[in-house]
């Protein structure tokens, strides 16, 4: 459990005060894969680095598993840091040490004996599927492999929390996907809470269950990924969500709709989960004197749940359209009128 | 061997003295320089133990010593030399000014080597719960190793040049041989011979340095 309580942070850059974080309050529950998204400079990395006190707040409290991280003595802080793994965008591996030695470092810092280190490192190498790279040096690895070593190193001491600072931002899409699968596996099999900071919305879509959106040091929106993605309230959130979940009628279709002389209205319908299976449009056509015409449709997967977006033109007289919409709303399908 | 106007034994002794002066002062200077460089890197503005005062004082000391030419430094600290080794002259007496000369020089070189290490490495170390000593010992030094070896190589060659001047306080060595027997006796062949010896020394030191640095860096 990570608890940010009214956290603010000011930096002084060239004698000017910059608010990196402003009154951020946020809770990350055990077992979450919590994503923080924002453009660069939004303060998300600062937020992440406060969890292991690499960065200290100007005001506010941060509690990690019930401990106020900024009130700890240095030796106690070091103990807590060993329970928090961290993965970096630039990997931060030691080029002077082999893959094996890189993963062994945190164990050596714990003065574990070499036999046990050998056992643990072999286990971790197998987990990240790099057993054959054991004696290779980081410069000979690809970006994805380096990040796997970084992850193995972060997991070496069996942490309860894993911090990922733009962990996939230096990787190509395919490698990103394999790293995300690995993170998901870590969360599921080892029950490790993951806090991931990113500017890539599809990282959030792919693995997170909760999301927080940040803009200029402020937390603008947060909640479950399903809620936030289905119902983005803030402009910033809409901007991000739109890039992965399209919900706009193509230009050429709009042109056709504008010329349609019949009485019609256009509605955007959002289905979640099993609702998608039910053929609501077919039932509307049968029940009401309304003709339906799909002008846009997309089906997206979020948190292993399906989100369907249909934009439908309802053609018919006003009263029939209204009854059809009432019917739709009764099915607890979200419905909004769209003007073209 | 051709006649150089001095006994071979004397040439050998001079070479021995040079090697003795270079390596003893190098060992002590490296130790001191490393400690000072680490302190500078840790206490500088972005360091993990940021401390304006310590940094300022140490930095100023290093600058002051570095601005005094070796030959002047050597005679200037003669009383100190007497205090430490009990005599002002001889090969061992030369070690004191040599160490004081080379330590700040190596400090600067080492400082640069350590600063080359990506700051992310230090951050990773801290995130792992490393103590300050562990950050230096397990992260900074291993990562800077290749560069540190090249710094030591550069320092060794600088030291070789300084030993030539140590003849002034009767330290002997190859440089002194060239000056007193080659230059003052107008013995050109001896002069040429010592120059060749010095060039060879430098070549050997540099090659060793490059070899080991490359070996480490090629990982």
Confidence of residue B100 (pLDDT cuts 50, 70, 90): very high
Minimal C-alpha gap between A40 and chain B (Å): 18
B165 lies in which domain range? Answer: 19-173
Indicate if the pLDDT at residue B6 is higher than 70. Answer: yes
**Which CATH architecture group holds A251-338?**
2-Layer Sandwich (3.30)
Which chain B residue has the Cα nearest residue A49?
B127
Indicate if the pLDDT at residue B93 is higher than 60. Answer: yes
CATH 3.40.50.300 placement within chain A: 2-243
Which chain B residue has the Cα nearest residue A150?
B124
Which chain A residue has the Cα nearest residue B146?
A96
Q: Contact A86/B124, CB-based, under 8 Å? A: yes
Least trusted range by pLDDT, from A45-59, B117-131, B173-187? B173-187
Q: Is residue B211 part of a domain?
A: no
Q: Which of B131, B145, B216 sits opposite A78 (nearest CB)?
A: B131
Cβ-based interface (< 8 Å): residues of A facing B: 52, 54, 77-82, 84-86, 88, 90, 92, 94-98, 105-106, 108-109, 137-139, 157, 163
Number of domains in chain B: 1
Contacts of B139 in chain A (CB under 8 A): 94
Q: Which of B124, B146, B216 sits opposite A92 (nearest CB)?
A: B124
CATH 3.30.70.260 placement within chain A: 251-338
d(CA A88, CA A125): 18
**pLDDT tens digits, one per residue of A185-235:** 999 999 999 999 999 998 999 999 999 999 999 999 999 998 888 888 888
d(CA B67, CA B16): 29
Q: Using H for helix, E for strand and C for coil, what is the string for chain B?
A: CCCCCCCHHHHHHHHHHHHHHHHHHHHHHHHHHHHHHHHHHHHCCCCCCCCHHHHHHHHHHHHHHHHCCHHHHHHHCHHHHHHHHCCCCCHHHHHHHHHHHHHHHHHHHHHHHHHCCCHHHHHHHHHCCCCHHHHHHHHHHHHHHHHHHHHHHHHHHHHHHHHHHHHHHCCCCHHHHHHHHHHCCCCHHHHHHHHHHHHHHHHHHHHHHHHHHHHHHCC
Minimal C-alpha gap between B138 and chain A (Å): 8
Size of interface A-B (CB pairs under 8 A): 62
d(CA B32, CA B58): 12
Confidence of residue B63 (pLDDT cuts 50, 70, 90): very high
Q: Using H for helix, E for strand and C for coil, what is the string for chain A?
A: CEEEEEEEEEEEECCEEEEEEEEEEEEECCCCEEEEECCCCCCHHHHHHCCCCCCCCCEEEEEECCEEHHHCCHHHHHHHHCCEEEEECCCCCCCCCCHHHHHHHHHHHCCCCHHHHHHHHHHHHHHCCCHHHCCCCHHHCCHHHHHHHHHHHHHCCCCCEEEEECCCCCCCHHHHHHHHHHHHHHHHHHCCEEEEEECCHHHHHHHCCEEEEEECCEEEEEEEHHHHHHCCCCHHHHHHHHHHCCCCCCHHHHHHHHHCCCCEEEEEEEEEHHHHHCCHHHHHHHHCCCEEEEEEEEEEEECCEEEEEEEEEEECCHHHHHHHHHHHHHCCCEEEEECC
Residue B176 · residue B14 · CB < 8 Å: yes
First-to-last alpha carbon distance for chain B, in angstroms, is 45
Q: Contact B130/A109, CB-based, under 8 Å? A: yes
Q: Is B9 on the interface with A (CB under 8 A)?
A: no
Indicate if the pLDDT at residue A274 is higher than 70. Answer: no
Q: Contact B139/A52, CB-based, under 8 Å? A: no
Q: Is residue B95 part of a domain?
A: yes
**pLDDT tens digits, one per residue of B139-154:** 999 999 999 999 999 9
d(CA A211, CA A252): 34
pLDDT attached to residue B2: 61
Contacts of A129 (CB under 8 A, 6+ apart): A148
Sheet holding A193-198, edge to edge: A84-88, A161-165, A193-198, A33-37, A210-215, A218-224
Q: Is residue B8 part of a domain?
A: no
**pLDDT tens digits, one per residue of A52-104:** 999 999 999 999 999 999 999 999 999 999 999 999 999 999 999 999 999 99
Q: Contact B219/A96, CB-based, under 8 Å? A: yes
Which chain B residue has the Cα nearest residue A154?
B128
Q: Is residue B203 part of a domain?
A: no
Quote ipTM for the complex: 0.84
Indicate if the pLDDT at residue A273 is higher than 80. Answer: no
Residue B116 · residue A68 · CB < 8 Å: no
Which chain A residue has the Cα nearest residue B217?
A96
Q: Is residue B179 part of a domain?
A: no
More confident residue, A239 or A127: A127
Q: Contact B143/A96, CB-based, under 8 Å? A: yes
Residue A266 · residue A290 · CB < 8 Å: no
Which chain B residue has the Cα nearest residue A151?
B124
pTM above 0.90, yes or no: no
The B residues from 87 to 146 touching A (CB cutoff 8 Å) are 118, 120-121, 123-124, 126-131, 134, 138-139, 142-143, 145-146
CATH of span A2-243: 3.40.50.300
Among B46, B117, B128, B213, the residue to mutate for chain A (most A Cβ within 10 A): B128
pLDDT attached to residue A108: 96
pLDDT attached to residue B18: 92
Q: Is residue B213 part of a domain?
A: no
CATH number where B107 lies: 1.10.3720.10
pLDDT attached to residue A249: 86
**pLDDT tens digits, one per residue of B30-61:** 999 999 999 999 999 999 999 999 999 999 99
Q: Which of A78, A137, A139 sits opposite B129 (nearest CB)?
A: A78
């Amino acid at each position: 459990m990570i608890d940010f309580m009214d956290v603010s942070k000011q930096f002084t850059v060239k004698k000017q005060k910059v608010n990196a974080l402003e009154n951020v309050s946020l809770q990350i529950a055990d077992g979450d894969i919590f994503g923080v998204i924002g453009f660069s400079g939004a303060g998300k990395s600062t937020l992440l680095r406060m969890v292991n006190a690499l960065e200290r707040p100007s005001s506010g409290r941060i509690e990690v598993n019930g401990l106020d991280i900024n009130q700890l003595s240095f030796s106690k802080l070091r103990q807590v840091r060993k329970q928090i793994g961290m993965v970096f965008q630039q990997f931060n591996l030691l080029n002077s040490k082999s893959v094996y030695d890189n993963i062994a470092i945190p164990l050596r810092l714990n003065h574990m004996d070499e036999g046990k280190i050998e056992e643990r490192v072999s286990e971790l190498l197998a987990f990240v599927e790099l057993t054959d790279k054991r004696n290779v040096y980081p410069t000979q690895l690809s970006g994805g492999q380096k990040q796997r070593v970084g992850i193995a190193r972060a997991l070496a001491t069996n942490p309860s929390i894993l911090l990922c600072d733009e962990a996939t931002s230096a990787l190509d899409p395919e490698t990103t996907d394999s790293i995300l699968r690995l993170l998901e596996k870590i969360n599921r099999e080892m029950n490790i809470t993951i806090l991931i900071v990113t500017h890539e919305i599809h990282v959030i879509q792919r693995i997170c269950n909760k999301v927080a959106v940040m803009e200029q040091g402020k937390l603008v929106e947060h909640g479950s990924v399903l809620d936030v993605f289905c119902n983005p309230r803030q402009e910033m959130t809409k901007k991000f969500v739109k890039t992965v979940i399209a919900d706009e009628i193509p230009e050429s279709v709009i042109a056709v709709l504008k010329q349609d002389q019949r009485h019609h209205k256009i509605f955007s319908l959002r289905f979640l989960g099993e609702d998608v299976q039910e053929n609501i449009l077919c039932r509307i056509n049968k029940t009401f004197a309304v003709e339906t015409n799909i002008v846009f449709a997309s089906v997206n997967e979020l948190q292993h749940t399906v989100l369907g977006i249909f934009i439908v033109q309802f053609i018919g007289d006003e009263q029939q359209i209204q009854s059809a919409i009432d019917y739709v709303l009764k099915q607890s399908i979200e419905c909004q009128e769209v003007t073209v | 061997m051709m006649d150089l106007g001095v006994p071979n034994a004397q040439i050998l002794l001079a070479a021995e003295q040079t090697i003795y002066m270079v390596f003893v002062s190098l060992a002590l200077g490296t130790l001191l320089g490393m400690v000072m460089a680490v302190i500078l890197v840790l206490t500088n503005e972005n360091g993990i133990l940021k401390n304006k005062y310590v940094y300022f004082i140490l930095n100023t000391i290093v600058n002051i010593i570095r601005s005094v030419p070796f030959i002047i430094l050597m005679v200037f600290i003669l009383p100190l030399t007497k205090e430490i080794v009990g005599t002002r002259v001889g090969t061992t007496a030369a070690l004191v000014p040599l160490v004081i000369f080379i330590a700040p020089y190596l400090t600067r070189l080492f400082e640069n080597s350590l600063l080359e290490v990506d700051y992310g490495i230090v951050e990773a170390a801290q995130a792992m719960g490393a103590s300050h000593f562990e950050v230096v010992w397990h992260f900074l030094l291993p990562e800077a190793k290749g560069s540190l070896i090249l710094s030591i190589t550069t320092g060794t060659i600088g030291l070789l040049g300084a030993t030539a001047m140590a003849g002034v306080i009767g330290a002997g060595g190859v440089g002194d041989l060239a000056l007193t027997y080659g230059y003052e006796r107008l013995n050109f062949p001896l002069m040429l011979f010592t120059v060749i010896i010095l060039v060879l020394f430098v070549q050997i030191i540099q090659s060793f340095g490059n070899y080991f640095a490359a070996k480490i860096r090629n990982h």
